[in-house]
Every structure is written in C-alpha cells, then in structure tokens.
Amino acid sequence: MSSEKTDHILTTHAGSLPRTPELLAANAAKENNPEDVAGFSELLSNAVVGVVQAQRDAGIDIPNDGEYGHTMSSSVDYGAWWNYSFARLGGLEETTVDRWAETEVKRSSPGNVVLTSFPDRRDRQRFAEAYSDPTSGILAHRKSTTQPKVVAPLTYTGHELVASDINNLKAAMEQTGTEQGFLAALSPASCARLANDFYTNDEEYLYAAADAMREEYKAILDAGLTLQIDDPSLAESWDQINPEPSLEDYLKFIQLRVEATNYALRDLPAEKIRLHVCWGSWHGPHTTDIGFADILDSVLSINANMISFEAGNVRHEHEWRIWETRQLPEGKILIPGVVSHATNVVEHPELVADRIERFANLVGRENVIASTDCGLGGRVHPQIANAKLEALGEGARIATNRLFSRSATRV
C-alpha cells in the first residue's frame, strides 16, 4: 500500500468516523433488546456501505468501515477505539469505574514506571480548572462509561464480531468499486491498560493480551484487508506517568510493549500492517505530550511497514522537520495526519497540500499517504468531519499536481 504504483498521492484516514443517528440509536436499543440481531445487522451493513461511499466521494482512496462495528456510547466518545474490545475479550469483569473519574493515584519513581489514573495525568493536573469546567470544551458532553478489569486469563471471544466487520467492509468495497480497505484493531499495550487482578506482572499481562488480540489481527489479514494497529499508548502513556519519568525509563517501559506487539505480529505480513500512534484524542492542551523524535526508534521497530501519526495539529505539526535529519527505513511508508481532529476549523486544501509536500519532499512522494491526525468520530460534528475529508481529498489532488507535474517536467 504505497503511492509507488499510482499517479497520485493516496489518501486515507485514521479510523473512526461519526456514527449516523440511526446507528447510535440502534446501538442503544440493542443493549435493551439484544435478540433483534437480524434487524441490527441489516442496519449496520447498510450504514457501512453509506460510510464507504461517503469516503470515496470525499476523495479517500483507502477507506474503512468508519469503525461502525465498534460501538459508541454517544456522538461524543473518545474511547470507542478501546472500549470495543471489552465485548471481544474473555477474562474481564465489569466494574463501576469511569476512567475519567477514577480517584486512584499511583506514583512512579526512578526505575519503577507505573501508569496512574486518568484524572491524575500531568496535563490534567496542570490545567485542573479547565478539565473540570464543563464549558471548556475538553470533556464536554461526554457520556460516562465504565471499564472492566482483568480477573481471569485473557481470551479472544470476538470472532463473530470481527467477521461481521470484515464482511460488511468487503461488501461495501465491492458495491463502491473500492480496491483497498483497512480495519483497525487494538494493540496489546493499549489492551493491557485495564486494571489487572490476575496476572503477576506486566510482561505476563502484555503477552496474554498479544495472544488474544492476534486472533483479531489474523482474521483481518486473512480476509485480504489491511490491518491498522491502534497504539496511542506508545506516546500517550508519557502523560499518564506521574511524576514525569526520565526518557531512559520511559523508553524501557514502552520497549516491553513494542516487543509484545511484535510477538503478536510474528509471521504476519508487515506490508499489510499499519501502526497508528497518537497522543490521545481528547480536546485538551496536551502540553505534556512527549516529542515524536523521542519515541521514533521505538515506533519504527514495530513490524508494520506503515506508520500513521499526528502531524496536522498545533502541538505536533512542527515535527515534520524530524525527517530533515532522519532517513526513512527501507520499506517504511509514512501516513502523516494533514487534517486534524483537534479543531472545528476546516483546513484549507492549499494548507493540506503544503503539509503533504513537506513530507513528500523529504522522504519521497511514493512513501507518503495523506491522512487525518486521529479518528474524527466522536470528536467533531459529522458535517465538519465530512468537510475535513473533502479538504484532505482536495489537498491531495493539489499536492499531486505539484509533485507529479514537477517530476514530469524534470524528465
């Protein structure tokens, strides 16, 4: 999946797209009436056809199912990318804990890095008033959702659900004449951030998560689709360690997670796998985000040929300059975000084109696929999300005209 065999800059996005009102209502009704499987399945499959067609109309070359098979709690939902896994894993027990309201505080020390609670994150502590103010826009209108804990061996139980995701996307691709498509799945490291009452240490927990999630990865790849591994934890965990650790300690902390991910991906085709890295997708200040350069070696060491990352928002846009001094490893492809989930302002297509060209000029146009920073679903209004995808498509067309006509002129 690269631009090498095409005559234009390819486009995609980071995964989640706004759910339709009908799908949100059907998900809510399904909780009360889980027996109506046929009715829900038909609505879901039709919705996936609609969202794939909408992506194609906006100029997206490599669409997905909008993550419509990953249930959202409401139209504002920052956690569906993670929460969906709770219905696909055995060994979990329900709790009454909302991750954004958890009160437990865990302190790290040199050589002993642990994740604290979400409310104890360093960015939230620095901007406590803003995070607590419902009018600030940071956590506004978010529905409280609980998360389970691990009380028994983790197993994968989501075979029917991932099969539904696969069948719906492939049917939609056939109906819309789409050649390439992807499905997102949770990384072992992000999976293993649930409270653990069973495994004796991090390594046991992570490798158990890797064994479980590998079944989902294989199902997606065996179906001929591209697999996206969602792993915000590689970058986002930095802010969830209090006090701030040394970079050496942090890299050691995420190295175990990298190794568990590579274990889950063993013998799977790296050319069909993309890794999505982000710093969390809530609308906060993000002043405690770790720099991309600090974790780049760790990110590149994962057995995925394509790297999706934030590059279009005001906290991380400047990091394109990393590639002025770093060489892209052979076979790797960058999927930079050139349109952001972090603002309601719709990017001008000329700006999108400029962002694409920065990367293309440094690593080669054949090694760049234009994307969004993170999922748009649950973060921006559907109308705005669609406009952003259109800006992405138009910006890629502008960049294509510049990059490919320049090459033709040189020849």
Is residue 100, in this structure, part of any structural domain at all? yes
Cβ proximity of 23 and 44 under 8 Å: yes
Beta strands of 240-374 (E only): which ranges? Answer: 273-277, 306-309, 333-339, 369-372
Average pLDDT over residues 145-163: 96
pLDDT tens digits, 364-397: 999 999 999 999 999 999 999 999 999 999 999 9
Tell me the two tokens of residue 66: 């909008």
- pLDDT over threshold 60, residue 316: yes
Is residue 201, in this structure, part of any structural domain at all? yes
83/145 Cα distance (integer angstroms): 9
- pLDDT over threshold 80, residue 33: no
Is residue 247, in this structure, part of any structural domain at all? yes
Q: Is the dihedral of CA 297, 301, 304, 305 positive or negative?
A: positive
- Where residue 411 falls among pLDDT bands split at 50, 70, 90? very low
Percent of the chain with pLDDT over 90: 83
Half-sphere exposure of 221 (CA within 13 A, CB side): 22
CATH label of the domain that carries residue 37: 3.20.20.210
Is residue 5, in this structure, part of any structural domain at all? no
Beta strands of 105-200 (E only): which ranges? Answer: 149-156, 182-186, 195-196
Q: Which pLDDT score is estimated for 213?
A: 99
- Where residue 311 falls among pLDDT bands split at 50, 70, 90? very high
* pTM assigned to the model: 0.95
Is residue 53, in this structure, part of any structural domain at all? yes
pLDDT tens digits, 329-375: 999 999 999 999 999 999 999 999 999 999 999 999 999 999 999 99
351 membership: H or E segment, kind and range: helix 349-363
Residue 31's domain comprises 10-410
Question: Could you give the number of structural domains in the chain?
Answer: 1
Is residue 2, in this structure, part of any structural domain at all? no
Is residue 1, in this structure, part of any structural domain at all? no
- pLDDT over threshold 60, residue 3: no
- The CA-CA-CA angle for residues 405, 407, 409, to 5°, reads 70
Query: Which backbone phi and psi does 314 adopt, to 5 degrees?
Result: -70, -10
Is residue 225, in this structure, part of any structural domain at all? yes
Q: Which pLDDT score is estimated for 75?
A: 83
Identify the CA nearest to 116 among candidates 215, 298, 238.
Answer: 238
pLDDT tens digits, 95-111: 998 877 788 899 999 99
- Where residue 5 falls among pLDDT bands split at 50, 70, 90? low
- Where residue 266 falls among pLDDT bands split at 50, 70, 90? very high
